[in-house]
A and B are shown apart, each in its own frame.
Chain A
Amino acid sequence: MAAATVMPHFGQQMSSQIELVPDWTSQEVSTGTTIMAVEYDGGVVIGADSRTTTGAYIANRVTDKLTPIHDRIFCCRSGSAADTQAIADVVTYQLGFHSIELDEPPLVETAANLFRASCYRYREELTAGILVAGWDRRLGGQVYCVPIGGMLVRQPVSVGGSGSSYIYGFMDANYKPHMNKDQCLELTATAVALAMERDGSSGGVVRLASISESGVERRVILGNQLPKSSAH
């Protein structure tokens, strides 16, 4: 096959002619998503919505997008559900092995680099936007952003996913350095709730987690308990 020919977009179109099998059965499962991670002195707070879509159908309305990679390191997944689950499984294995070799809890930067290595090497094949967040003894709470393409950058606060576009302004206006854990939790919950309100691919419940030296605390905010915004 000559390299110069244009390859048609394959895969998804094969069954669209057969009307018995609707379009969304052939669509890839995507976590439309809003994810967020914030550093504070002593740890990190992470939050996500809970909607997974195949086309226009919600395949899972209670997804857990905050995936543990190690005892004090989590990742927030956005993009293709299959790609991010596979990458997270691989990194969990690699980090666990590395930690046993070291006989020490691993660094958050190590986990982030493992994600970056997979996401950059297979950048053409993958659709994965990941936030790596956790606590380690060397640098405390850290948030690393590994967006589509495989960049790696540390940020004090980061948002991701399709719903993140709607809350960049909110985040810039309301994030202040040196906030404490409860302020971070409130900021994250409010931001994710606002994004869920506006983004069709985000919704369900708000899942929160705070990671510090003492461990991981997880919380779920159900639909009727979401922070009320002033409009409607």
Chain B
Amino acid sequence: MATLAVHQSPVGGFCFENCKRNALLEAEANKVGSSLPAARKTGTTICGIVFKDGVILGADTRATEGMIVADKNCSKIHYISPNIYCCGAGTAADTEMTTQIISSNLELHALSTGRLPRVATANRMLKQMLFRYQGYIGAALVLGGVDCNGPHLYSIYPHGSTDKLPYVTMGSGSLAAMAVFEDRYKPDMEEEQAKRLVRDAIAAGIFNDLGSGSNIDLCVITKGKLDYIRPHDEVNKKGVRTGDYKYKRGTTGVLTKATLNLQVVEETVLTMDTS
């Protein structure tokens, strides 16, 4: 940085000292060859589009811990309010908690205003919180909903910047999904056509990105109706085993049979030490 930093006592605001310490620890661990436990990330393909009557949000269902699939069927489309849903990519815990916090605050806000919450309000709350944490909350979100001003779709990045667009994709599979959108998106599509487009975009992410996989979840939000379709398409169904290693009873012949009757002499209960 340009100026010489004189040590000052912190004047409020979030303290990022531990983040610097964590980075140092990670560097030191990597030097000796070991690595810190990886946070569970949703590798992810998530996307959203605005169609004629509302918005459609789509997501895959794979959650990864490094190179291992931690959850084959996790739910990435989170509830914000009855008319607003949010897909989350990035660190799974961050997306889950961030959307829950904003959902809770938005419900209180709606009770205070007496109106159905607006998507722009949820967007403001999310971007201001993520900016406050300067990108350390790894939540990349696709926020969509229908309110009194019509359908709206936002993409929100971990550092707190947002874009309001007719179609957005996020996550490691976003390039594959965006390729499908750029080819086939048209304004004011019908619901069935739009659902097929979102399904194809997520499928592109699932089949071409290692971080995304399993099923396709869809959420269709229109003015009076909400369709949370989980799963919309099971494109990675586990195969059925054609053979069976279990032997049926009677396969092995019984030569002799001897029974030992054990009698209970004493019964004591030891409590577990939970101190």
Please list the residues of chain A having a beta carbon within 8 angstroms of any beta carbon in chain B: 1, 3, 7-8, 10-11, 13-15, 17-18, 20-22, 25, 28-29, 52, 54, 57, 59-60, 62-63, 80-83, 85-86, 89, 123-125, 149
Contact = CB atoms under 8 A, between A and B. Distances in A.
Contacts of A8: 20, 23-24, 27
A85 B3 contact: no
A18 B41 CA distance: 10
B23 A25 contact: no
Contacts of B43: 20-21
B151 to A, nearest CB: 18
B140 A59 contact: no
Contacts of A60: 155, 163, 165
A61 to B, nearest CB: 9
A158 B198 CA distance: 43
Given A1-B20, A11-B136, A22 B172 contact: yes
Contacts of B211: 20-21
Contact of B131 (A14, A82, A123): A82
Interface string B15-38: 001011111101100100001001
Contacts of A3: 5, 7
Nearest to B65: A18
Contacts of B130: 82
Interface of B: 1-3, 5, 7, 17, 19-24, 26-27, 30, 35, 38, 41, 43, 64, 66-67, 89-90, 124, 127-128, 130-131, 134-136, 140, 155, 157, 159-163, 165, 171-172, 175, 210-211
10 contacts: A3-B7, A14-B26, A17-B35, A28-B157, A60-B165, A81-B161, A82-B131, A85-B161, A89-B128, A124-B3
Nearest to A20: B211
Nearest to A30: B161
Contacts of B124: 89
Nearest to A148: B2
A63 B23 contact: no
A191 to B, nearest CB: 25
Given A1-B20, A18-B66, A124-B5, 9 more contacts: A1-B21, A3-B5, A10-B20, A25-B171, A29-B161, A54-B157, A60-B165, A80-B161, A82-B127
Given A1-B20, A8-B27, A124-B3, A85 B66 contact: no
B160 A85 contact: yes
B27 A82 contact: no
7 closest cross-chain pairs (CB), A and B? A81-B161, A10-B23, A82-B159, A82-B161, A20-B211, A82-B160, A60-B163
A85 B154 CA distance: 14
Given A8-B27, A10-B20, A18-B38, A28 B175 contact: no
Contacts of A80: 159, 161
Contacts of B35: 17
B136 A81 contact: no
Contacts of B161: 29, 52, 80-82, 85
A80 B135 CA distance: 12
A59 B38 CA distance: 26
> Of residues B38, B135, B159, which shows the largest number of chain A Cβ atoms within 10 Å of its Cβ?
B159
> Of residues A10, A17, A83, which shows the largest number of chain B Cβ atoms within 10 Å of its Cβ?
A10
B17 A1 contact: yes
Contacts of B19: 10-11
B172 A21 contact: yes
A85 to B, nearest CB: 5
Contacts of B128: 86, 89
Contacts of A21: 41, 43, 172, 211
Nearest to B42: A21
A11 B172 contact: no
Given A7-B20, A85-B161, A86-B160, A20 B136 contact: no
Contacts of B24: 7-8
A85 B162 contact: yes
Contacts of B175: 57
A98 B20 CA distance: 39
B39 to A, nearest CB: 9
B23 A81 contact: no
Contacts of B210: 20
